[in-house]
Amino acid sequence: MEFPVPKIRSDLEIIPAYSQGRRVAVVKDFLGLIKEPLVLTGEILDFLGLIDGKRNIRDIQLELVRQKEGVFVSSEEIERLLAGLDDTFLLDSEHYRRQKNKIIAEYSLLQVRSASHSGHSYPDSAEELKKYLDSFFCHEESSISILEGKKIGALISPHIDLEIGKKIYAKAFQTLKKASPEKIILLGTGHALHDTFFSITEKDFETPLGRVKTDKDSVKKLIRAGREIVSSNDLAHRREHSLEFQLIFLQYLFGSDFLLVPILCGFFHKELIQVSRPKDIPEVDNFLKALRLLLENYGTQTLVIAGVDFSHIGPKFGHSERASSLLFQSEKHDKLLIKALCEGNVEAFWAESKRVQDKYNVCGFSTLACLLEIIPQARGHLLGYEIWREDATQSAVSFAAVAFEAKKFLSGDQR
């Protein structure tokens, strides 16, 4: 019996686009086995559509002959194409898994999570990075006046490209200028976290602005509480930007002496139908209780930061329609989510996501739902909201800044 051909890797980012009138796909590899973005064109795109982990070479051959209206394609040619894909690390094969396991083992031995985006997304020298971040705070924003005299306990900030989100990043972090946190719980979207709900690391974090120590005792407690729903390795942190982008702002404002609890959230979307909030998911409740208790024990000199974006619409994100035809509804969806966030209403937040079945790809959905669970009854204030449009792919991404008053959830008052 002939075994099925290994499927295309599920941990790749495959972005559909058009180049010179031709359909192409840009492949990005979070793991780093594919060093540079790979552009696929022509018949190879149709070929990839047949590699689903269910078909064997004979099945693929018959389908190609059908697609080509009877033109014969030899099994040897298919094997040659598959070998090329496997050599390029596109297939979920033994070749790929051996290399992935090697990377996991090597990364697990490291004590420090080095900055992965310095020199690309932002300057790699401390002096230049400080000058760059200075430019975010050169103008005071009027939106912070609504928070005058209020202590901020939690903050939602974007994780989109720093230049694209510059205005909203500024609105978010300007609210923290008078803060002096001793400990920070940092939540972010785990873009490469596909097989479990959370990933936590004991590694210290290093950027051009210095090294921030991780609260290892607290991380161990959370891992024990999470058990089966926390990843067995911390590889998801290696190239993830959703926490790193927040950290450089925090270091700019506070230095590097605070303790950090870095948590990446996976995707709860498959649970939308079965439950009405994150704590209803088996095992997740124990994890969130432990995280909530940690926040209470930390006391008032604590911040919770969530690095998230909102809707992702258009062909780049799997829609058949252009972003322009989806913008009205996606923005309406975002605003309803933000309303639920500001009211501290996790059930309404979840219900709105369930209503649209996550049609608009809110990548921060899981992170934000967890945030609401650990800051009950907190009052939020929308500071800013924007939509970035990418003309080349006819797609768009929305993002926002929301600040939460600390009075209730950091005092333990959940009435």
User: Is there a single domain that holds both residue 179 and residue 270?
Assistant: yes
| Number of other residues whose CB lies within 10 A of the CB of residue 293 | 13
Q: With respect to residue 4, please indicate whether it lies within any of the assigned structural domains.
A: no
pLDDT in tens, 242-293: 999 999 999 999 999 999 999 999 999 888 889 999 999 988 999 999 999 9
Question: What's the structural domain count of the chain?
Answer: 2
Tokens of 54: 């269910």
| Other CB atoms within 10 Å distance of the CB of residue 224 | 12
Q: Are residue 139 and residue 245 in the same domain, yes or no?
A: yes
Q: Take residue 95 and report the two structure tokens written for it.
A: 């070749």
170 and 222 in a common domain: yes
Q: Which of 54, 69, 104 lies at the terminal end of a domain, its last residue?
A: 104
CA atoms within 13 A on the CB side of 185: 29
**Residues spanned by the domain of 70:** 12-104
| Upper half-sphere CA count for residue 131 (Cβ side, 13 Å) | 6
pLDDT over 70 (residue 113):
yes
C-alpha to C-alpha distance for 25 and 42, rounded to whole angstroms: 10
The residue behind tokens 């190879």 is: 44
Residue 10 pLDDT level (bands cut at 50, 70, 90) = confident
Q: Which residue has the higher pLDDT, 42 or 193?
A: 193
Question: C-alpha 249: how far from its chain's center?
Answer: 18
Return the structure tokens found at 214: 């991780």
Residue scoring higher pLDDT (115 or 227) = 115
End position of a domain, from candidates 104, 130, 162: 104
pLDDT of residue 414: 43
Residue 66 carries which side chain, given as an amino acid letter? R
- At 384-411, the pLDDT tens digits run 999 999 998 899 999 999 999 987 666 5
Tokens describing residue 80: 């040659």
How sure is the predictor about 24, in pLDDT bands with cuts at 50, 70 and 90? confident
| CA 84 – CA 87 distance, rounded (Å) | 5
pLDDT at 385: 97
Would 7 be classed as within a structural domain?
A: no
Among the ranges given (37-46, 130-139, 361-370), the one the predictor scored with the smallest mean pLDDT: 37-46
Residues 337 and 240 placed together within one structural domain of the fold: yes
CATH number at residue 133: 3.40.830.10
Q: Both 51 and 195 in a single domain?
A: no
Last residue of a domain, one of 104, 121, 147: 104
CATH of the domain at 88: 1.10.10
Q: pLDDT band for position 334 (50/70/90)? A: very high
**pLDDT value, residue 413:** 46
- Do residues 264 and 194 touch, judged by C-beta distance below 8 A? no
pLDDT of residue 206: 98
Return the amino acid letter for 209.
L
